[in-house]
Amino acid sequence: MSAYETNRNVLLSNFTSETEFDFGYHTSSAGEGPDTVYLQGLCQADVEPDTCWSCFNNATTDLPKLDPSFSYSFNNPEDAKDAASYTRALQVLMEKLRNQASGGRDDYKVAVGSETSDKSETVYGLAQCMPDLSQKDCNDCLQNAVLRIRACCLNKVGGRVIELSCNLRFEKIQFYDDI
């Protein structure tokens, strides 16, 4: 087993119910030099701490199996009734949320909101960055995530794009509590 794998295993095994989350965010590391392993995790801002911890805990078993570049996207398979109008509303919403989240506080970079299409279909959205990102890095990360919507979720009523340092989600129903 390599030093990196050993450090990764130590880091994941030290993850316990005592782990602290600041606004759903946790970071830690193990090892030294080029074999240092870093762990960052981010829960949706409205998730209760116990639920967040449980999700993090479950994820620690899957982490060694995942691609370290960690960029995933998936969609709700339902098509929008008026795809062109819904897509325009989604674009307006994501632009607004990207700007709000990237301009957020240093410890809390999240934005939620909704936009209504010409045909009175409402799209709800969330954009969130790791709180340690600069405004520019958060903005860039979310911009890349927004661009990926076209590839994964074109004309769909919902979808998620999860990047290494940010994520976004949109749905035709409100999926978040007030933040």
Rg (CA), the chain: 17
Range of the domain at 21: 3-65
For residues 84 and 165, state if they share a domain: yes
Q: How many angstroms separate the CA atoms of 130 and 105, rounded?
A: 11
Do 103 and 84 share a structural domain? yes
Say how far apart CA 110 and CA 100 lie, in whole Å: 7
Residue 164, domain member (yes or no): yes
What pLDDT does 67 receive?
Answer: 64
What distance in Å separates the CA atoms of residue 162 and residue 141, rounded to the nearest whole number?
10
Using the 3D structure, point to which of 30, 65, 100 is the last residue of a domain.
65
- Domain for residue 29, yes or no? yes
Q: What is the pLDDT of residue 65?
A: 74
Tell whether 76 and 58 lie within a shared domain: no
Distance CA 130, CA 119 (A): 35
Q: How many domains does the chain have?
A: 2
> Can you give the pLDDT at residue 18?
56
**Which helix (H) or strand (E) element contains residue 170?**
strand 166-171
Strand segments, DSSP code E, in 9-136 are 25-30, 37-42, 72-79, 109-116, 122-129
The pTM score is 0.83
Is the residue at 89 inside a domain?
yes
**Per-residue pLDDT tens digits of the chain, which is 179 residues long:** 888 888 888 887 776 655 676 667 778 888 889 888 887 888 887 888 788 878 877 777 776 676 666 878 889 999 999 999 999 999 999 999 999 999 988 778 999 999 999 878 999 999 999 998 999 999 999 999 999 999 999 999 999 999 989 999 999 999 998 77
Q: Are 12 and 60 in contact (CB under 8 A)?
A: yes
Last residue of a domain, one of 46, 65, 84: 65
pLDDT value for 1: 81
**What sign results for the dihedral spanned by CA atoms 172, 174, 175, 179?**
positive
Count Cβ atoms below 10 Å from residue 66 Cβ, excluding itself: 10
